[in-house]
Structure 1
Amino acid sequence: MANRDLNRLKVVLAEKKRTNRWLAEQLGKDQTTISKWCTNSSQPDLASLMMTAKVLNVELTDLVRFEEFKNENDGTE
């Protein structure tokens, strides 16, 4: 699962016209952490992902690329 874009955080932030800095402040996280999540170089834990969905007023499923998991499980890419 290396180097896959598993979350849609960068896209959702752009859609909501919010910045990494704003999200970091809302979550009490370092801006570098949010940047890593947005570039998919690291992934948020489930609790952070749930809180992110809450502060962005979106569904948790809006933040995750489930097709990546589906394709991995059914053998297609």
Structure 2
Amino acid sequence: MNRIKEVLEEKGIKQTWLAEKLGKSYNMVNAYAQNRQQPRLEDLYKIAEILDVEVKELLKDRTEL
């Protein structure tokens, strides 16, 4: 499970912007944000870099599950 949606909301960033920067479709980024699909590790690192956060900030802690 990831926190991509929460981090985007905290930073005031739209999923469409992230999709463009990531080179993925809006539908794919939306699937990540809704936890319908999990990004590959490589993509998770790219997302963290784009959003200027640590990768661990994009992941839910076990206590949050």
| Fold shared per TM-score above 0.5 | yes
Question: Identity rate of aligned residues, in percent?
Answer: 37
Q: How many residue pairs get matched?
A: 65
Structure 1 gaps, min length 5: 1-5, 72-76
Structure 2 gaps, min length 5: none
Which one-letter code corresponds to 2:22 in the other structure? Answer: L
Give the alignment's TM-score, normalised by structure 1: 0.79
Q: Per-residue displacement from partner, 1:26-58 (whole Å, max 9, x unpaired)?
A: 000000000000100000000000000000000
RMSD of aligned residue pairs (Cα, Å) = 1.6
- Greater RCO between the two (CA within 8 Å, min separation 6)? 2
- Runs of at least 4 residues of structure 1 off by over 2 A? none
Give the alignment's TM-score, normalised by structure 2: 0.93
